[in-house]
Amino acid sequence: MQVVRVLTPEYALNYILEKWLQVGTDATIEWKSEHAECVQAFSTRSKRYRIMLPQPFVTAAAAKNDKIHAALDLIKEWMQSKKMKRIRVH
């Protein structure tokens, strides 16, 4: 049996990145199972290493490491790529 792994963050990230570069050639995506693994890898890698974390983990990681900050809002980038507008529910 073949298991297909298509997760929403993975799909969204690949879709957005493919607008500017070729995943696998221009960038390598390395998936981690825990948020702490991402932060540890970021702390020990080169300046070109980037991590993708959901909130509130970005805020918690940034409090411990001043080199970590939110570079983009994945939802905003996705909506712009699809020319969508966010609907506010009151």
**pLDDT class of 87 with cuts at 50, 70, 90:** low
DSSP assigned state of 45:
S
DSSP string for 14-36: HHHHTTTS-BTTTB-----SSHH
Whole-model pTM? Answer: 0.59
Query: What's residue 3's pLDDT?
Result: 45
Q: How confident is the model over 4-18, as a mean pLDDT?
A: 71
> What is the Cα–Cα distance from 34 to 16, expressed in whole angstroms?
23
pLDDT at 38 over 70: yes
> What is the Cα–Cα distance from 17 to 68, expressed in whole angstroms?
20
What's the pLDDT tens digit per position in 46-65?
777 788 888 888 888 889 88
